[in-house]
């Protein structure tokens, strides 16, 4: 898979590839990623998703080597109320789902968050989104609560760091 893809940090020059990737997502993939209907990304949202400081807000994109198409994104954004904690999100193009790309991107963005000094990651998923729940559990996230159809997950990076040092 890695021979077919180039993974790199996203930046302002990736607005058009990100908009194109969003347009190619199925309605269901958009719904699951944004936890509700999301017919389009506004110009403001495209800016927020690509103008990153790579410390408090970071994103990695997977681009097909032959076409240059963006086919996967993993990102985190620090919570405004708690700068030691960040929310993680992963999106994979429908045709690339089920091939391990989401897991690879998620592992890489968790590592970048940990390297940036973030102590805790959170993520949310619909209770019926088995793939997302399995991805988060596979990374060590634990369910911490449920609100209706949405499950909240948490990963203590400081615990991972302490365990690795022991």
Residue 56 counted as domain residue: yes
Residue 157 counted as domain residue: no
Q: What is the pLDDT of residues 75-120, one digit of tens each?
A: 999 998 888 999 999 999 999 999 999 999 999 999 999 999 999 9
Residue 13 counted as domain residue: yes
Q: What is the pLDDT of residues 13-52, one digit of tens each?
A: 999 999 999 999 999 999 999 999 999 999 999 999 999 9
Residue 105 counted as domain residue: yes
Residue 66 counted as domain residue: yes
With a threshold of 0.75, does the pTM exceed it? yes
Q: SS3 string of the chain?
A: CCCCEEEEECCHHHHHHHHHHHHHCCHHHHHHHHCCCCCCCCHHHHHHHHCCCCCCEEEEEEEECCCCCEEEEEEEEECCCCCCEEEEEEEECHHHCCCCHHHHHHHHHHHHHHHCCCCEEEEEEECCCHHHHHHHHHCCCEEEEEECCEEEEEEEHHHHHHHHHC
**CATH number assigned to the domain comprising residue 65:** 3.40.630.30
Residue 129 counted as domain residue: no
Domain that holds residue 34: 5-117
Residue 136 counted as domain residue: no
Counting the structural domains of the chain, the total is: 1
């Amino acid at each position: 898979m890695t021979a077919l893809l180039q993974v790199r940090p996203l930046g302002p020059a990736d607005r058009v590839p990100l908009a194109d990737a969003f347009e190619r997502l199925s309605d269901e993939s958009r719904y699951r990623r944004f936890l509700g209907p999301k017919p389009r990304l506004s110009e403001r949202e495209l800016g927020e998703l690509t103008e990153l400081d790579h410390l408090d807000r970071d994103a990695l994109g997977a681009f097909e080597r032959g076409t240059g198409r963006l086919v996967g994104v993993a990102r985190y954004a620090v919570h405004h109320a708690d700068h030691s904690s960040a929310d993680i999100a992963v999106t994979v193009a429908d045709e690339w789902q089920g091939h391990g790309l989401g897991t690879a991107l998620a592992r890489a963005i968790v590592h970048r968050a940990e390297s940036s000094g973030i102590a805790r990651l959170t993520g949310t998923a619909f209770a019926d989104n088995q793939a997302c729940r399995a991805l988060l559990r596979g990374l060590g996230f634990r369910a911490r609560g449920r609100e209706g159809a949405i499950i909240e997950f948490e990963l203590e990076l400081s615990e991972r760091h302490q365990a690795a040092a022991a």
